[in-house]
Structure 1
Amino acid sequence: MTDDRYGLPENIALVDDYHLGRPQVVGTYVLLGENPVIVDPGPASVLPNLETGLRQIGLEFSDLHGIVLSHIHLDHAGATGSLVRYFPHLKVYVHHRGAPHLIAPDKLLRSATRIYGGQMDYLWGEFLPVPVEAVVTLGGGETIRVAGRTLRVFDAPGHASHHLIYLDEATGAAWVGDTTGLRMPGYTYVRPATPPPDIDLEAWRRTLDMLLALKPRMLLLTHFGPAHDPERHIAEMWEHTMRWAETVRAGLERGDDEATAAAQLAALADAEMGVEANEAVRQQYAQAGAVEMSWHGLARYWRKKMEA
C-alpha cells in the first residue's frame, strides 16, 4: 500500500500521534509488510492515539516486531519501555550511546524533570526502562533487516550525540529524526531544533554533509512528515540554525538576561515564518520544537565553547 496523504513509498505509513490532541506535531512511521516495525513511537502519553492509528491501517501493537529509534529524546522514544513491557518480543534498535539511558533511565528523567518540572507526566507520560535483552545497539555503518527491507544505519551527531539516520536505498527514504529540523506539511519553512544538552554545531554540519552525499529522495521527519526537496530543505534548515546560533551567541556576549535573550530568539523565529503560517501552524511549530528549549541548547553549546 502507498500512503497517498503524504506521498510516501509503498508499504510505509505515517501515523499522526496527536500529541496533546494537536494534529501533525509528532508522527510515527510504520514499515508495513513482513514483520512490521515502527520508527520513533513518540512519548507514552500518545500511546492510545498510536494504537488507534495502527488499527486504521490494519495493525495491532502485537503485530509489531520492532521499534527503530532515531534518538532517545522523550518525544521520540518515551513510549518504548511501555510497549516492550506489554509486548516483550519487540526488538529495540538504538544508538549505543542512548541504550544505557533506555535500560536505566533515571539520569535521563532527572535531567528532563529539571527542564519540564511538574509537566513531565502531562507532556510525555511514563518512561519505563527497556530490558537489556530487547536492545540492539548500533553506532553507524551497520545494515539492519526489518519489515522485509534493508536499512543502512549512519551515526548522526549534532542534534544529539545518540542520533542515528536510517536510509532505505530501495526507495531513497531517509528517517532523519530531528537532524533536519521541523517542517509542517504544506509549508516550506524549516525550523531548527536545538534543545539541550549536547548540541554540537561542528558535528551537525558534518552529519548534514554526509546526508547530502547519500542523495536521499525524501527526508522523513518526526515533526512532521516527508520533505520531498532534501537539498533545499537542508540548506534552509542550516541557514536558520546558523542565524539562531549567532543570535544566541551575541546575546550571551552582551550579557542579556535569559528572558530577554530567549525573547529575541522567539522574535527571530516568528519573523522567519512570515506570512506563510497561520496561528494554528505557528502553534504546531511551537509544540514540536519550543524556541525557549532551542535557546537553552544553543546557550549551553556556546558556554562550553567559551569555557574550553
Structure 2
Amino acid sequence: MTGLGGGPHLIDLNFERTPGVIASYVFDTGDGLAIVDTGPTSTLGTLEAGLHDLGATLDDVRHLLLTHIHFDHAGAAGTILARVPAARAYVHERGAPHLASPERLYASARQIYGDHMERLWGEMRPIDPSRLTVLSGGETLRVGSHDVQVVYTPGHAVHHVTYRDGPELYVGDVAGVRLTAAQTTRAPTPPPDINLDVWRESVAALRDLDVERLHLAHFGTYAGDSAHWDGLLTTMELDAQRIRDGLDAGQDVDAITVAFSAALMSELAAEGAELPARYDFACPPWMSVQGLIRYWQRRESRAPGVSR
C-alpha cells in the first residue's frame, strides 16, 4: 500500500451514476485502513476503485466504522468482511443484531423499493457476531494509533453513532444533508426512527465538541462551525412544521408530499441549480415526508390524555 497518507480521504461512491450523493471516508490507522461507512453493495466496485486511486485495496482494510445500519451507509459491510478476513466492523448495539441477521431489514426495505432493490442497494450479507465490535456510546476505541471517541447520536436512527478522531468528526446523517457549501443543511427524515426531540439533543452534544471538520455521508467535508448546525436546526423545524400544517389541514399523504417536495425543491434551486436533482438521490423528499408523518403521529399518541 502506497500513497494513501494519513487521511481522511473522501471517496465518492457515485451512487446511481450521480456524483456528490454518497461518500465514504478512509484514513490510515497505522494498523490498516479504516473506512467510515461502506455505502451499499451496489457501489462496492466504486469504493474499490477509489481505494486503488489512493494506492490501496480492500485487503488493506481492517476497520469498518459504521455510523448506522441503513443500506446507504452499511450495506456493503458484510460483503467486505467476507472478502477481508482480518477486518472487523464497529456498530451500535441496537444495530448489531440486524447486521448479524439482516433478513428482516432487507425484507422491510424491499417492501419500499420493490424490484429496484437489487439495482439500488445490492445484497446485504450477514456478519458473524464475532466480527462485530458492539458500541453503546461513550467508548474510546484504540484503532491502530488513533483514539476514536464514540458518541451516541440518535434522532435520525436509534442506532446512530458519531466518531470523533481528534479534529475530525464523522457524522453519518445526524449532521444532515449538505451537498455544497452554499446549501443550507437539511435533516434527512426517513422512517421509522425519526425523533426530532432527541435529534436536537444529539446536535447540542456534537456542537460542543472541539472539532475542525465535519465529514458528511451526504455529502462532503465542512467546517465544524455554528452556521452548519444552525442551518440544520432551522430547516428541521421548517420541514417538520410543513408536515404538521398539512396534517392539521386534513390533507392526505399524497397532497402533503406534493406540497412539501415543491417547497423543498424551490428552496434548493435558489441555492444551486443542480441541487434539486442531486438531493432527490441523496434524500428523496417522499421518504422525509413519511418519516415526519410518523414522528408527529407517534408524538401525538404519547401526549397526555390521548389513548394508545
Is this contact kept in 2: 1:2–1:11, CA < 8 A? no
Instruction: Name the counterpart of 1:12.
Output: 8
Instruction: Name the counterpart of 2:153.
Output: 156
In the TM superposition, 1:160-179 aligns within 5 A as 160-169=157-166, 172-179=167-174
Matched residue SS, 2:271? coil
Matched residue SS, 1:14? strand
Does residue 29 (structure 1) correspond to residue 25 (structure 2)? The answer is yes
Shift of 1:191: 2.1
Partner letter of residue 49 of structure 2?
T
User: In 1, distance between residues paired with 2:136 and 2:246?
Assistant: 36
Instruction: Name the counterpart of 1:117.
Output: 114
Partner letter of residue 295 of structure 1?
V
| Unpaired segments ≥5 residues, structure 2 | 303-308
User: In 2, distance between residues paired with 1:128 and 1:205?
Assistant: 33
Is this contact kept in 2: 1:13–1:32, CA < 8 A? no
Match of 2:259 among 261, 264, 278: 264
User: What percent of counterpart residues are identical?
Assistant: 37
Does residue 241 (structure 1) correspond to residue 236 (structure 2)? The answer is yes
Instruction: Name the counterpart of 2:305.
Output: none
Q: How far does the alpha carbon of each residue in 1:191-223 deviate from its partner, in whole angstroms, 9 at most, with x for none?
A: 220110010111001000001111321111011
Instruction: Name the counterpart of 1:182.
Output: 177
Is this contact kept in 2: 1:195–1:294, CA < 8 A? yes
Matched residue SS, 1:151? strand
| Unpaired segments ≥5 residues, structure 1 | 4-8
Shift of 1:231: 1.2
Instruction: Name the counterpart of 2:59.
Output: 62
User: In 1, distance between residues paired with 2:47 and 2:277?
Assistant: 21
TM-score by length of 1: 0.93
Is this contact kept in 2: 1:95–1:138, CA < 8 A? yes
In the TM superposition, 1:134-149 aligns within 5 A as 134-149=131-146
User: In 2, distance between residues paired with 1:219 and 1:102?
Assistant: 26
Instruction: Name the counterpart of 1:292.
Output: 286
User: In 1, distance between residues paired with 2:29 and 2:107?
Assistant: 39
Partner letter of residue 54 of structure 1?
L
TM-score by length of 2: 0.93
Shift of 1:30: 0.2
Does residue 104 (structure 1) correspond to residue 101 (structure 2)? The answer is yes
User: In 1, distance between residues paired with 2:105 and 2:278?
Assistant: 25
Matched residue SS, 2:171? strand
Shift of 1:259: 1.0
User: In 1, distance between residues paired with 2:71 and 2:289?
Assistant: 18
